[in-house]
A = this chain, B = another copy of it.
Amino acid sequence: MLTVRIAPWRRLALLALLPHLFLSAAAVVARQCLWPGQASDDAGCLSWRVMVEANNARGWRTVPPQCVGYVSGYMTRGQYQRDVAGVAEQARAYADGVAADADGLDAWVFDIDDTCLSNLLYYEAKQFGAYDPLAFRAWASREACPGIHPVLGLFTTLLDKGFKVFLLSGRDEETLGSCTAANLEAQGFSGYERLIMRTPEYRGQSSSIFKSAVRKQLVDEGYRIRGNVGDQWSDLQGDCAGDRVFKIPNPMYFVP
C-alpha cells in the first residue's frame, strides 16, 4: 500500500523536473544568452572586433585565440551579413547623391578578397590562423570564392548609374590573374572597367603602397575616384583614397 502511494509522486517529480532539464540544456547551447550585467569572453571579443573596424587595433597576426569561436559565430550566424548589408546601403545612399559625368571619368574602386569575393570557407578551415600563401593560392585557384551579395548589389547599381568600376587586388597577377577573373565572372561581377592585380614590381611591398600607386595612376589618367570599398584600412588610406571610403567588416585577418 505504501509503495503504491509513493509511485505517482515519483512520476510527478520526474514530470516536474523534465522542463528544467530541457531549459538547462537550452541555456548551455544558447551561448549568446546573458543576463543583464553579465559579461563573457564575447564582450571582450566584441571590443576587439570594433577596434579592428575603427582602425584602433593594427598589425595583428591572427585572431586572438580566445576570440576564434566568437569570430566564427560572428561570420556565420547573421551579424556579419547584416553589417555588410548596412555598409553597402550607406555606400548606395552616398552614390545616390553623386552624378556620374558624361565624360566617363567618375570612378569607384573595389578591393576583391572579402570585399567582392568571400574567403570565409578558407579562413574557417584554417581556424583563422596565420596567413599561408601556398594554401591561399590553392584555394583561390579553385575559383570557388562565393560572391558577397550586398557588395554585388552595390557594384551593379554603380555600373547602372554610369560609374567606371576598377577592381584592385593585392593578389598576384601572374599566378592568379585568370582564375580571379573567372571567379568574379561566375559570381556576377562583370562589366567593370579594369581588373588590376599585383605585378612583379610590387611583390613583397605592402598592399597600401601598391594600391596607393595604382590609384595615383588612375587619377593621373583623369579619373575622379568618387568611392572606394575595401575590407582593410590599407585599401582605404594613402594617396588618392577617394572622395569617400567604405570599410567592409573583416575580423578574420589584417593586411598592412
Interface residues of A (CB under 8 A from B): 8-9, 12, 15-16, 19-20, 23, 26, 29-37, 39, 43-44, 46-51, 53-58, 77-79, 82-83, 85-87, 90, 245-247, 249
Q: How far is the CB of A113 from chain B (nearest CB, A)?
A: 18
Known: A12-B16, A50-B53, A54-B53. A36 touches B44 (CB 8 A): no
Main secondary structure of the interface of A (DSSP, over half): helix
B23 touches A32 (CB 8 A): no
CA distance A58 to B97 in the complex (A): 14
B35 touches A79 (CB 8 A): no
B47 touches A247 (CB 8 A): no
- One complex includes copies of this chain to the number of 2
Interface centre among A56, A77, A249 (most CB of B within 10 A): A56
A36 touches B47 (CB 8 A): no
Q: A30-B35, A32-B34, A57-B90 are in contact. List 14 more A-B contacts (CB 8 A).
A: A8-B9, A9-B12, A26-B35, A30-B33, A36-B77, A47-B79, A49-B50, A50-B53, A50-B83, A51-B90, A54-B54, A55-B245, A56-B246, A57-B86
Q: Which residues of B contact A53 (CB under 8 A)?
A: 50, 53-54
Interface centre among A8, A37, A50, A77 (most CB of B within 10 A): A50
A78 touches B37 (CB 8 A): yes
Q: How far is the CB of A16 from chain B (nearest CB, A)?
A: 4
Q: Which residues of B contact A245 (CB under 8 A)?
A: 55
A39 touches B9 (CB 8 A): no
Closest-by-CB residue of B relative to A35 is B30
Q: Which residues of B contact A23 (CB under 8 A)?
A: 23
Closest-by-CB residue of B relative to A31 is B36
Closest 7 CB pairs of A and B: A16-B16, A53-B54, A47-B86, A54-B247, A33-B33, A47-B83, A47-B82
Interface centre among A9, A31, A49, A83 (most CB of B within 10 A): A83
Give 19 CB contacts A-B under 8 Å: A8-B9, A12-B12, A26-B35, A30-B36, A32-B33, A37-B77, A37-B78, A39-B78, A44-B82, A50-B50, A53-B54, A54-B54, A54-B55, A54-B247, A55-B245, A55-B247, A56-B86, A57-B86, A57-B90
